[in-house]
Chains A and B, each alone.
Chain A
């Protein structure tokens, strides 16, 4: 009896992590659907909900035209939903604008800067580790670089805010002390250990007979590393890229502290940016529960979740399958 009970309990607890994923889906999306708190506005909003809060946003746009004159309160809600693709993010004003494009742009800009710095560095270090470092040195190098991942993100954000920002502004003489480059450098510090670890594992896991064949044919050690091992490990290194990208894209505290948080669409990398994650972090504490602003912030969270979820799924399934195929094909 206790045997059966134990297996049931263990199985249901194991289900928790799966249930949490489902619950995150349900609850983050649920809060992203507009609702209201006050009793007065509730009626107006509910009425509207049946008409225009449906699946397609284009319907909502059409409805605004007719609704505008009668209900000022609801007009605001609908307009802001319709304007999600706008280029202005002004959530707190008389006519709030919830354009997500500058936030997307900010996230991509700072993430790209971060990965452009971190990826070559980390892959270079991984190549060094497997090609030139002796066995003893490698045993030290790996934990040392992984020590970087032990830094809490708020500490790296602090370091960026104080030291990196000063260095960047005195070196480049920029107008804004906190900008996308400072954020990018800070993000690079956080994702270097991730990319390094995954890339190093990928390079290490290439079967010995492949590199030995290359060495036996007279290739030098570095030629083997660059022309044989590196190409064979491409899927794993691509996975490292995706994981680093996902981590940087969702990182909150660092960008909140180091990027200046101005929602602009500028191409200049020395201007401040406001990312999706930092927007949630900065504004969620001040919104009214059930407000349009509140819902839009949850919508941003839902988008972040879906984005990182897909990146992980690609890294997990697609890359691993390719890697397996490659080795089974060549073995």
Chain B
């Protein structure tokens, strides 16, 4: 009996250990293959040159610029909304319980909505409803300006997708701020809003930063929401105004590997683009982890 228990224990150890090993091995294999095969083509020129010869040669500069612009615009809109929502949930919501539950449910739901549905929403709401509405007022000659895909609508769509990330991160930081801070500030005669502005917000800066970085890491890699809200296959010029379309790293990977005229010839370019995309998202996630680590350390002290 004792022997059987022992062997079953070993068996369980073996099986679960194998599961763990398989997952970690898959991760390492993916990283290694992309790094090795993309590394050959990863040059300074690749990062700074335009695509050439029907995108079978050259670099990915416009895709990098497009991605950076997208995540910047996205953060400008999404981070304030996320931060304020988190402030509401931690600092204000104690008074109205039901509203807070609604907001919490909405945030959780929003985090689970498939990204392609966000894309549809962007098309239906931003482009067809708001954009076409603006065009009806602004452009008299019937020429479409806002009622078509562009970088503004893509960024707004992406902002909605990444708002839950910001909310969750900032909320965690706000909850970590000791209640004594609030009590001390209020006892000195500061109002609630003054307390938030002078005490809570400065202490929440690392959290807001982490949330922003995580949101950017997410937004830089998502393709489905921008498929029909603003991304372009190829553009000869960089986007210069909000109503322009843009190129994007993730979308570039998608079209090179599935729609390209010569998929085999661009293999190297594909791997190198994937490598750039991975480097961007991983370094952002890594920075977030570091910031969070120091934040926790400081909180413990």
A residues in contact (CB < 8 Å) with B: 2-3, 6-7, 9-11, 13-18, 20-21, 23-24, 27-28, 30-31, 120-125, 127-129, 131-132, 141, 143-145, 147-148, 150-159, 161-163, 189, 192, 196, 220-223, 225-226, 243, 246-247, 249-253, 256-257, 277, 280-281, 284-285, 289, 297-298, 301, 304-305, 308-309, 311-313, 316
Q: Which of A28, A189, A246 has the most CB of B within 10 A?
A: A28
B129 contacts which chain A residues (CB < 8 A)?
A: 27
Known pairs A31-B124, A152-B250; A127 contacts B16 (CB<8 A): yes
Instruction: Report yes or no: B88 in contact with A154, Cβ–Cβ below 8 A.
Output: no
- Listed A/B pairs (28) with beta-carbon separation below 8 Å: A11-B92, A14-B84, A17-B85, A17-B163, A21-B110, A24-B117, A30-B124, A121-B22, A122-B23, A124-B16, A124-B18, A124-B20, A132-B17, A145-B24, A150-B281, A151-B278, A152-B220, A158-B257, A161-B258, A189-B30, A280-B116, A284-B120, A297-B120, A301-B116, A304-B116, A308-B112, A311-B112, A312-B112
Instruction: Report yes or no: B113 in contact with A24, Cβ–Cβ below 8 A.
Output: yes
Instruction: Report yes or no: B223 in contact with A153, Cβ–Cβ below 8 A.
Output: yes
Q: Is B240 an interface residue when CB atoms closer than 8 A count as contact?
A: no
Cβ 8 A contact of B121, one of A28, A154, A243, A256: A28
Cβ 8 A contact of A308, one of B114, B125, B220, B253: B114
Instruction: Report yes or no: B5 in contact with A223, Cβ–Cβ below 8 A.
Output: yes
Instruction: Report yes or no: B221 in contact with A252, Cβ–Cβ below 8 A.
Output: no
Closest CB of chain A to B230's CB: distance in Å?
12
- Closest B residue to A141 using CB positions: B20
- Closest B residue to A4 using CB positions: B193
Instruction: Report yes or no: B120 in contact with A28, Cβ–Cβ below 8 A.
Output: yes
B33 contacts which chain A residues (CB < 8 A)?
A: 159, 163
Instruction: Report yes or no: A124 in contact with B117, Cβ–Cβ below 8 A.
Output: no
Q: Is B103 an interface residue when CB atoms closer than 8 A count as contact?
A: yes
Instruction: Report yes or no: A155 in contact with B253, Cβ–Cβ below 8 A.
Output: yes
B residues in contact (CB < 8 Å) with A: 5, 8-9, 12-13, 15-20, 22-24, 26-27, 30, 33-34, 80-81, 84-85, 87-89, 92-93, 99, 102-103, 105-110, 112-121, 123-125, 128-129, 160, 163-164, 167, 191-193, 196, 217, 220-224, 227-228, 250-251, 253-254, 257-258, 267, 270, 274, 277-278, 281-282, 285, 289
Alpha-carbon gap, A313 to B222, bound state (A): 24
Closest CB of chain B to A226's CB: distance in Å?
7
Instruction: Report yes or no: A253 in contact with B19, Cβ–Cβ below 8 A.
Output: no
Closest CB of chain B to A151's CB: distance in Å?
7
Where chain A touches its partner, the secondary structure class is helix
A222 contacts which chain B residues (CB < 8 A)?
A: 8-9, 12-13
Instruction: Report yes or no: B19 in contact with A251, Cβ–Cβ below 8 A.
Output: no
A220-B5, A309-B113 known; 17 new pairs, CB 8 Å cut-off, are A13-B81, A13-B85, A13-B88, A14-B84, A28-B124, A127-B12, A145-B23, A151-B30, A152-B220, A152-B278, A155-B34, A155-B250, A158-B257, A226-B12, A281-B227, A312-B112, A316-B108
Cβ 8 A contact of B92, one of A10, A156, A316: A10
Closest CB of chain A to B254's CB: distance in Å?
5
Alpha-carbon gap, A125 to B258, bound state (A): 34
Closest CB of chain A to B110's CB: distance in Å?
6
Cβ 8 A contact of B224, one of A192, A223, A253, A289: A253
Instruction: Report yes or no: A3 in contact with B191, Cβ–Cβ below 8 A.
Output: yes
Cβ 8 A contact of B109, one of A9, A21, A143, A304: A21
Q: Which of A21, A27, A154, A308 has the most CB of B within 10 A?
A: A154
Instruction: Report yes or no: B221 in contact with A154, Cβ–Cβ below 8 A.
Output: yes
B88 contacts which chain A residues (CB < 8 A)?
A: 10-11, 13-14
- Closest B residue to A301 using CB positions: B120
Alpha-carbon gap, A18 to B17, bound state (A): 43
Instruction: Report yes or no: B112 in contact with A246, Cβ–Cβ below 8 A.
Output: yes
Known pairs A3-B192, A21-B110, A159-B34; A252 contacts B164 (CB<8 A): no
Alpha-carbon gap, A322 to B265, bound state (A): 55
- Closest A residue to B33 using CB positions: A163
Going nearest first, the 7 A-B pairs with the smallest beta carbon separation are A250-B114, A152-B221, A124-B19, A14-B88, A128-B16, A18-B106, A312-B112
Cβ 8 A contact of B193, one of A6, A17, A151, A301: A6
- Closest B residue to A294 using CB positions: B123
B221 contacts which chain A residues (CB < 8 A)?
A: 151-155
A10 contacts which chain B residues (CB < 8 A)?
A: 84, 87-88, 92
Known pairs A27-B125, A125-B16; A157 contacts B114 (CB<8 A): no
Known pairs A3-B192, A161-B258, A298-B124; A14 contacts B89 (CB<8 A): yes
Instruction: Report yes or no: B110 in contact with A17, Cβ–Cβ below 8 A.
Output: yes
Instruction: Report yes or no: A125 in contact with B23, Cβ–Cβ below 8 A.
Output: yes
B253 contacts which chain A residues (CB < 8 A)?
A: 154-155, 158
Instruction: Report yes or no: A150 in contact with B217, Cβ–Cβ below 8 A.
Output: yes
A192 contacts which chain B residues (CB < 8 A)?
A: 23
Instruction: Report yes or no: A20 in contact with B16, Cβ–Cβ below 8 A.
Output: no
Alpha-carbon gap, A28 to B146, bound state (A): 19
Closest CB of chain A to B248's CB: distance in Å?
10
A28 contacts which chain B residues (CB < 8 A)?
A: 117, 120-121, 124
A189 contacts which chain B residues (CB < 8 A)?
A: 26, 30
Closest CB of chain B to A39's CB: distance in Å?
14
Instruction: Report yes or no: B123 in contact with A284, Cβ–Cβ below 8 A.
Output: yes
Known pairs A18-B106, A280-B120, A301-B116; A128 contacts B223 (CB<8 A): no
A6 contacts which chain B residues (CB < 8 A)?
A: 193, 196
- Closest B residue to A223 using CB positions: B5
Alpha-carbon gap, A249 to B114, bound state (A): 8
Alpha-carbon gap, A82 to B8, bound state (A): 57
Alpha-carbon gap, A225 to B12, bound state (A): 10
Closest CB of chain A to B85's CB: distance in Å?
5
Closest CB of chain A to B49's CB: distance in Å?
21
